[in-house]
Amino acid sequence: MDDNQLLMTMNEQPDVTRHVALIPAAGVGARMAAGSPKQYLPIGAKPMLRHTVDAFLSSPLIAHTYVVVSADDPFIDAVLPDASDGASRVTVLRCGGATRMESIRNGLHAVRAALADTDHVLVHDAARPGLNAALIERLITETGDHPAGGLLALPVVDTVKRRGDDGIATVDRANLWLAQTPQMFTYALLCRALDAATDPAAITDDASAVQALGLAPRLVEGHPRNLKVTLPSDIRIAEMYLAADASI
């Protein structure tokens, strides 16, 4: 299916709210010290990014998945699903930017003609291969039509210490959560929040951009299997979760 056919198909039902995935995958993964960007490193028998894409393909709630890569990315074509595995539900956008926020903003602008303002966009880290259909359903169901959207997150269970020049202090963990992805917002809200972000350093995730507008996204409890692979040691942990029962 070419891009024009895709736009026509997705606009056939303008009154139906759709859920689409947007995966920024233009990063270089410097902390992995690997020969290729970390999203292409193998996790079990598949590249990390393929696990991530397959999670969205496994969900009947996701109408389409967009993957944002750099214009000169040499790896993505070998990673995408073939025609029998749902390739018609995946589109590569070669408009990645220098930062994650720039890649997401570029991707949103690239799909403007395909989405309604009220459609929901689930932004997900390429390096979280442990996502599954159950977590996607939980996020969509529990966020519902909350006007500020929602995100998967984990309540902090460990004791938290803050180190300063004068020593360390124990931080009250009662209301602390660790943000995960996907983070889901309407297309219009996400565009407005990212376009209004003047300090990229202050926007550590999409929810923080929405919060900067004075809104409070809903926190939906995620799962440890949805960890972000950042260091080489995280690969083995991700493999353990993926090899285990996919239920949560």
Encode pLDDT of 12-21 as tens digits: 545 678 999 9
Q: How far is Cα 240 from Cα 165, in angstroms, rounded to an integer?
A: 39
pLDDT digits (tens, 9 = 90+) for 81-95: 876 677 799 999 999
Which residue range is the domain that position 109 belongs to? 3-243
Return the CATH number at 124.
3.90.550.10
Structural domains in the chain (count): 1
248 located within any domain: no
pLDDT for position 77: 93
Q: What's the rounded Cα separation, in Å, for the pair 95 and 66?
A: 11
Omega before 232 within 30 of 0, i.e. cis: no
| Residue 206 within a domain | yes
Look at residue 29 and tell me whether its pLDDT is greater than 60: no
Q: What is the pLDDT of residues 229-239, one digit of tens each?
A: 999 999 999 99
Helix (H, G, I), strand (E, B) or coil at 151: strand
